[in-house]
Amino acid sequence: MAYDIEKPDEQWRAELSPAEYQVLRRAGTEPAHTGEYTDTRTAGVYSCRACGAELFRSDTKFDSHCGWPSFYDPKDSDAVELIEDRSHGMLRTEVRCSRCGSHLGHVFAGEGYATPTDQRYCINSVSLRLTPDES
């Protein structure tokens, strides 16, 4: 797929920290319970750390106790791209930023969370940047 923001790999490596690059550009996963936004309650907008696209609002964030920030819905239906992921011997749905194609995490459905969508967007903190709402 063509993205609005496309850069050579060398440029991504120069602009991102090694941990950010591993997750955002190589579809890695940060260790559970280590991300800066796992337990954050600050009101605001979560954006893609690679390109700044607005992805999720804090009012859709919920406690799933899975070890990563969880959201039940993206800020805008066009904010993320969903891709079938058959890696690791299972079927999952990968979540990418629709603006730059960066890996964010995975989305799961039907787990029984009391959310309006019954979905859990399990997103790596290192993929996000939180901009707090102005008071």
- How many residues make up the chain in this entry? 135
Assigned domain for 38 exists = yes
Alpha helix stretches (DSSP H) within 1-135? 9-15, 18-24
Question: pTM, whole model, 2 decimals?
Answer: 0.94
Q: How many structural domains comprise the chain?
A: 1
Assigned domain for 1 exists = no
Report how far residue 126's alpha carbon sits from residue 135's, in angstroms, rounded to the nearest whole number: 25
Assigned domain for 40 exists = yes
Assigned domain for 75 exists = yes
Report how far residue 126's alpha carbon sits from residue 111's, in angstroms, rounded to the nearest whole number: 24
**Which pLDDT does position 91 carry in this prediction?**
87
- Residue 80, domain CATH: 2.170.150.20
Alpha helix stretches (DSSP H) within 27-128? none
**pLDDT tens profile 63-109:** 999 999 999 999 998 999 999 989 878 889 999 999 999 999 999 99
Assigned domain for 20 exists = no
Burial of 84 by CB count in 10 Å (0-12 exposed, 13-18 middle, 19+ buried)? Answer: exposed
Concerning whether 48 is annotated as a catalytic residue, the answer is: no
Structural contact between residues 85 and 93, judged by C-beta atoms closer than 8 angstroms: yes
Assigned domain for 10 exists = no
Assigned domain for 37 exists = yes
Assigned domain for 77 exists = yes
Domain that holds residue 64: 31-132
